[in-house]
Structure 1
Amino acid sequence: MAAGLLITAGVLGKIGETDVSDALTFGGRAAGATFLFAGAVEAIAAISTFDYLGKRRWVYSGAAVLIGVVIALALNALLLVMQIDAREYTHYAWVWPTALVWSFWALWKINPQQVWNTSPHPKKVATGAAVAGLISLGNLLYSRVYVPYSSPLTLDLVVKFEEPKLNAKGTVLYVPMTVTVKNNGKVPLYILGTLYRVYGRSAAFTEKTRDIADWKTDIQAGESVERNTRVMGRELISSGEAMEDSGGSSLESGDTVVEEKILTIPADSEFDLIEGVAEAVVIRTDRATLSPDFISSGTTSWNESLSHVEDAPKWVADPGDEYLKYQARLYYSNEILNATRRPRYATIWWVTHTSPDTQKSYLQATISLKNEEGRRPSALDWQETSTGYGLYFFTSGTAREPFAALIKAPTEPP
């Protein structure tokens, strides 16, 4: 009996010690403190078994053992339910049912009715056991279902074109562009990836009013409906990290990062507009911890000779598209989840698609089990990754400037 209590004390103590110092939410740390307390109670109960099964010199030894067994029964039952609910195997998977069977045996062995009758203060014993059990169960449930909806994630992305300059020969246009990233929420976040894209739009102007068929074509192509302008296409002018070397870094609440880019565009380009947009993929730091090897995990779809060697999953990119991929393990917000859930991994791809008709660059990301990132996430998967891990995609508004106004910029001195 003492061995069972000591094993339970060790498991609860390990979970509690980890969560008291490392859990990402107040609820997780409160649950950790409760588990640590429960582990201490189990250790006291284990010591008390020697007196209870021996000479019984301490009148409360039976009560101490009973409280220890009841706590072990309640917590192991709930942890087993969580394990079954997850439908996942971990190295703790056999601890909960084994400890639960042992708890029922121990409860039968010590004969609760006898402990109750021999205790000098049975009501106090019952109250103490009930309070300890309710606190343990309450904190465990709180740490399991707690979702900090009161602290929504807010990330502002703003793209802005600054005053352009022509080179001395008037052949090259330099367009400064700033990308501002600000964490306006109360929750720090991990940056998985950022990206900016600048396109040159080509369009044909006609004095004749375009008919309804042209409007339908615009709508189907995702374009704005314009009476006298037909969009011919877009050409990718520039693409890159909106925040340089930001992968895996954190952005604290209130932090602002401003990146300056210089676009180089031939002055004789036949664009009517240039358009800039930025995007970011982030994870809440109160939902998971990102492994520090994220940035060093980068792999490419090409080899050293720059030949394409590997395709991304079909749901991420078309065959032949090139990409950069980063992947690292996520640790759950508390040790209770780490004990009852299999490890998850955050994966992000920076994809570049080039075809005769289309050039585009974009980010795609997922959270999955190891080596399962190739499976297309369902709508339920996306909901779970956002609520459970805080994975979010943010996109800026689109900045637009008429190209004709840009090429009237002043010329730089030779």
Structure 2
Amino acid sequence: MSIRPWVVVEAPDGRGLRRVTIGGETVGSAWSLRELRKMLDRLGYPDVDVEDPASVCWRGGDSSAWPARAWRRRATSVLMMLGLVASAVLNGMIGWPDASGALTFAQRITGALFVLSGLAQVAAAISVLDYWGRRQSKISGAIVLLGVLISLGTDSLLLLMWLEEREYTPYMLAFMPLWCWSLWAFLLLVREKSWKGVPQPKRFAAGVFVSALLTALSLAYSTMYQPAVAPMRFALKAEFGTARADRGRPFIQVPLKLSVENTGEVSVYVIINDFTVYGRTSKYSEQGNLVKERWKESFEEGETREEAERHVDQLEYTPISSGRFYRPGEVLGSGQEDARVHVFEIPKNVQYDLLRVDMQITYMRKDRGRIDVENFSKPHASWIKRSPYYCHPSVCGETLRYHGRVRHNNNLVNVTRKPRYVTAEWSPTRSPKYSISSSYDFKGRGAAGDPAEETREVDRFGASTVYASSEVSVAELLRSIPSP
């Protein structure tokens, strides 16, 4: 046997782990004297006297120098793994809805990046076992650091977005604690210089930077640029056709030709729509002095008068027929064109001098959000007392109400905001109404929150209304009726 001892136990490293060599060849590391004895027994040296200087050389401390704090190391590794797994689950929940169902390609890419970042964090959680273990892999520390950086970036972004509105959301219970955890984990890994051992640390750092930059650009494009670059255009037409006399009754049948075309580049949800035919009666004067004061009086009485004729005044419009072109929640695709003919009747001796049709469609852009169509398309009568949508007819009239959840296409916004709802009302005797807000009062007061919130949400979801109207002389309609 050589004079030099053949078993050498090196001094403890920063974690208390002691490297063991036999005959100049490293055979492993040990956290404790018990692990050292098991290692020697496994290698075929069960009878080695560890206290014999001729057999074992202790460097940096004798057989009692085992400074490893197993409970602290295990607690740190468990906490690190739990944080990474929780962050991976959160990233997956955020990214999957966009990756699988977003309308635009950019939003799908953003969702896919979140899903991939979640998978990277799962890999980092697995690497924790090696990094807080025997560190057999040189890059395990760098992988853990990458996972923590992803968590810190994601949670910081969620926190900043939440600060814009400061609304309660259940996701707060996840990303706020995770932000504190990721900050602690990042400082711990920086202090330990976990990137040591990476063969090319500069390339690793460059890859992390480029990945973060691409993610930031993708988010900016999907949330700010893309929804604004596609303008909305519609072609609405409402025209009266050739009237026909009813053979059995003293009525005139008037066909109304309606058409709608989405000439824009984005599909839309129809929130509410309406067309109403009015019959106009008026007072005539040959002297032509009716308009001088009446239009000012009507304004003072609260009427909206943007028409004035010298020989015609005291205009009154009586609803004759009303209906809808689409059901609430229907999708009107880009380039889609629909037409309909609606026939209504008026008496032959009617006193109307003009017929007028007003048509309107209120829509929401599909690239801004998604409507829960299954619930929103169901009508609820406001006059049924046992219904949660009940409102006294003296306050709300008798209307059909539609109510459903609306979600942003960017799921990052959904997890940092309270739920939003779209509400619409339709009645043949009233103009349609709609709102988008976080809450709604069905007792007649409309949106229950700040009116500014409703305006802001309508703009965010790209909701708007387009109109079309047409008029025809009753005398012209009667002239077009063929003689019997």
* TM bracket (short chain): 0.7 to 0.9
Q: Quick check: 1:174–1:264 contact (8 Å CA) kept in 2?
A: yes
1:234 aligned residue (279, 294, 317)? 317
Task: Answer yes or no: is the 8 Å Cα contact 2:295–2:305 preserved in 1.
Answer: no
RMSD after superposition: 2.5
The more displaced of 8-17 and 218-227 is 218-227
Question: What are the residue-to-residue correspondences of 1:89-238 with 2, within 5 Å?
Answer: 89-112=168-191, 114-168=193-247, 171-210=250-289, 212-217=292-297, 221-238=304-321
Number of residues paired by the alignment?
395
Query: Letter of the aligned partner of 2:348 in structure 1?
Result: A
Equivalents in 2 of 1:384, 1:115: separation in Å?
A: 46
Taking structure 2 as the reference length, the TM-score comes to 0.75
1:293 paired with 2:374, answer yes
Could you list the per-position Cα deviations for residues 246-292 of structure 1 after superposition, in whole angstroms to 9, with x for gaps in the alignment?
Answer: 22111111111111111100011111111111111111111111113
Alpha-carbon distance in 2 for matches of 1:150, 1:28? 14
Deviation, structure 1 residue 187: 0.7
CA distance in 2, matches of 1:96, 1:390: 28
Structure 2 CA distance for aligned equivalents of residues 383 and 371 of structure 1? 14
Q: Secondary structure at the match of 1:18?
A: helix
Distance in 2, Cα, partners of 1:97 & 1:170: 73
- How far apart, CA to CA, are the structure 1 residues paired with 2:376 and 2:155? 38
Q: Is the 8 A contact 1:275 1:399 kept in 2?
A: yes
Q: Does 1:258 pair with 2:342?
A: no
Give the TM-score of the pair, scaled to structure 1. 0.87
User: What residue in structure 2 maps to residue 368 of structure 1?
Assistant: 437
Counterpart position of 1:315? none
One-letter amino acid matched to 2:436: I
Contact 2:257 2:340 in 1 (8 A): yes
Shift of 1:182: 0.9
1:2 match: secondary structure: helix
User: How far is 1:123 from its partner?
Assistant: 1.1
Tell me: CA distance 1:288–1:298, structure 2 relative to 1, closer, same or farther (3 Å).
Answer: same
Higher relative contact order, structure no. (Cα contacts within 8 Å, ≥ 6 residues apart):
1
Q: Cα–Cα, structure 1 residues 148 and 309, in superposed 2: closer, same or farther, change >3 Å?
A: closer
Deviations 1:311-365 (A, max 9, x none): 48xxxxx725221111111122032222222221111001354xxxxxxx31110
Distance in 2, Cα, partners of 1:286 & 1:213: 49
Classify the secondary structure of the residue corresponding to 2:169.
coil
What is the SS of the residue equivalent to 1:197?
strand
**How many Å separate the matches in 2 of 1:225 and 1:322?**
33
Matched, 1:25 2:96: no
The answer to whether the 8 Å contact 2:435/2:458 transfers is: no
**1:184 Cα deviation after fit:** 1.0
Is the contact made by 2:255 and 2:342 (CA closer than 8 Å) also made in structure 1? Answer: yes
Give 1:382 deviation, angstroms.
5.0
C-alpha contact (below 8 Å) 2:256/2:343 kept by paired residues? yes
Query: What letter is aligned with 1:394?
Result: V
Structure 2 regions of 5+ residues with no counterpart?
A: 1-79
* Alpha-carbon distance in 1 for matches of 2:164, 2:334: 34
Q: Deviations over 1:116-153 (max 9, x none)?
A: 44433221222222223333333334444345222112
Match of 1:404 in 2: 475
SS in 1 for 2:421: strand
Instruction: Show the counterpart of 2:391.
Output: 310
Bigger Rg over Cα: 2
Please tell me the residue identity of whatever aligns with 1:160.
E
Out of 398, 405, 408, the residue aligned to residue 332 of structure 1 is 408
User: Which residue is 2:27 aligned to?
Assistant: none
Instruction: Assess if the C-alpha contact under 8 Å between 2:407 and 2:414 holds in 1.
Output: yes
Is 1:78 aligned to 2:157, yes or no?
A: yes
Could you say which residue in structure 1 is the equivalent of 2:87?
8
